[in-house]
Amino acid sequence: MASIDQQVEVLMSGTEYGDPQTKENMAKELRERLILAEKEGRPLRVYCGYDPRKPDLHLGHTITMRKLRQFQEFGHDVTFLIGTFTSMLGDPSDVDKTREQLTLEQVEINARTYQDQAFKILDPAKTRVRRNDEWLAGLDFRDIIKLAQNFTVQQFLARENFAKRLDAGEAIYLHEMFYSLMQAYDAVAMEIDAQVGGQDQLFNILVAGRKLQQGLGQLPLIAIIMGESLPGTDGEIKMSKSLGNDVPLMTTAEDMYGKIMSIPDKAMPIYHKLLFGYTAKQLDELAEHMASDPMGIKKALAFRVVGEFYGEDGAEQGANHFATVFQGAGLPDDMLSYTLTGATRVTDILAEAGLTSSKGDAKRQIKGGGVRLDGDKVTDIDAEISPGALPVVLQVGKRKFVRVVAE
C-alpha cells in the first residue's frame, strides 16, 4: 500500500494554481486530509463533474479522468458526476459570452453515453456515477438565498472572464453567477474531500467550492487543478468540440487513429506528458527520437491511444486504414490536394477540386453512391468537412481522388 507521502507526490503531480504558495498549501492540506481519513478508517471522497452540453466527451476530458483513476488506484472513493442540472445553465468559466441555456430534454439526450465513455478510463467497479439534479432540482428560492449569502458580488466580478466582459462593456447576467454556486453545492451535497478540475475551474473549485463548504460547517475541499490542457488536433488551441479540433471518444478506431496522426509534431511532448505522465527525462528521450523518427513516434502514440479505447484489434484496424488512405497504399501517387480554410461542403470541394463538373454533378454523384470519404460512402448532399477533421481523402468513382488538408 502506498504511503501518504507517495500518494501526495502522485496526486499533486501535473497540478498548477498560478501561485506556488497555493500549490504548497493544497499539498499540505491533502496530506493532512489523508492522515485524518486514515485515522477515521475511510477513503477520501473525490469527484470531478462533466456537463453534458454536447453528446460526446473527447480526449481532452480524459486528463481529469486519469487523475481520478490515480485516486482510485490508491483506494479512494471516486464519483463521476454528470452535471444534468448545471449543464442546463452552462459554465461561464471558459467563454467570453453568455452560454445558450439548454432544456432538460437536450441534456438527457447528451448524457446517455457519458457513463460508457467515462469507463474507458475509470474502473467501473470503483466508480460512483451520480447526477447533480438529485440535489439541485429540489432547492427552493429560500435555499438559494441562504447559499448566496456566503459570497460577495466583488468575488464574482474579479473572475478573469467576467472582468474582461465588464471592461469591454459586455453584459454579465445574474444567472451566470449561479453556476459557481450550484457547482459549489455539489461538493457540499456529497461532502467532498477533493475535487479535480482544469484551469478554467480555478474559481469554481478553489474559491466557491471551498468557501461554501466552510460556510456550511464542512472541511474545505482540496482543489486538484490540472496545470495544462490538451491541445486539439491543430496543436495550438485547447481541445474543443465547438472548435472542431477534438478527438471524440465515441467515434471509430479509424477516425481516432487518423485524427491523432493529424496532430502537429510539436504537440507530441504535451500529449505524452498529459496522457501518459511522461517525466522530464522521458520527454528528453522523446525529443531525441522525434528528431530521427517523428512519424514512428506519432504512430506509436496513435496505436497506444486507440488501443486504450478499442483494444489492440481496433488499433491495428486504425493503423491499416491510415496506411491505406493516407500513406498512399492503393492510392495514386499524383493525388490532387485541396486546402481547407473553414468548414466546407463536400459538394463545393468536389466541384472546386475538379472531381465533378459542378456542384450539381457532385450532388448527383453522392445520391448515386459514387462519393466516398476515407473509404466510407457519403450519403448526405449537405455533408461538411471541418478543419479539425483533416486530413481526409475524397473519392469519386474508382479513379478520382483528392486529399483535403489544413491550411
Buried b (16+ CB within 10 A) or exposed e, 223-247: bbbbbebbbbbbbeebbbbeebbbb
Residue with cell 474502473: 123
| pTM metric for this prediction | 0.76
Instruction: Give residue 192's pLDDT.
Output: 98
361 CB-near residues (< 8 Å, 6+ apart): 351
CB-count exposure of residue 313 (10 Å: 0-12, 13-18, 19+):
exposed
Alpha carbon 26 to chain centroid distance? 24
What is the mean pLDDT of the segment spanning 207-236?
93
Across the chain, what does the average pLDDT equal? 88
β-pairing verdict for 392-396 and 400-406: antiparallel
Distance, in Å, from the CA atom of 104 to the CA atom of 225, rounded to the nearest integer, reads: 29
Residue with cell 514512428: 296
What stretch(es) of the chain map to CATH 3.10.290.10?
336-406
Distance (Å) of CA 244 to CA 19, 232, 238, 251: 32, 8, 11, 14
E-strand stretches of 51-142? 77-82, 127-131
Of 146-150, 261-265, 327-331, 343-347, the poorest mean pLDDT is in 327-331
In the predicted structure, residue 311 carries a pLDDT above the cut 90: yes
Beta bridge partners of 195: 47, 223
In tens, the pLDDT along 223-279 reads 999 998 999 988 888 998 777 788 999 888 988 998 999 899 999 999 999 999 888
Instruction: Give residue 91's pLDDT.
Output: 55
4-225 domain in CATH 3.40.50.620? yes
Alpha carbon 270 to chain centroid distance? 15
In tens, the pLDDT along 45-63 reads 999 999 887 777 899 999 9
pLDDT above 90: percentage of residues in the chain: 54
In tens, the pLDDT along 121-146 reads 999 999 999 999 999 999 999 999 99
Instruction: Give residue 333's pLDDT.
Output: 62
H-helix segments, 90-158 = 104-111, 114-118, 133-136, 141-148, 153-157
Distance (Å) of CA 78 to CA 48, 111, 174, 183: 8, 19, 32, 17
In the predicted structure, residue 324 carries a pLDDT above the cut 80: no
Q: 347: pLDDT confidence band, cut at 50, 70 and 90? A: very high
Architecture of domain 336-406: Roll (3.10)
What stretch(es) of the chain map to CATH 3.40.50.620?
4-225
Does residue 48 contact residue 195 with C-beta atoms inside 8 Å? Answer: yes
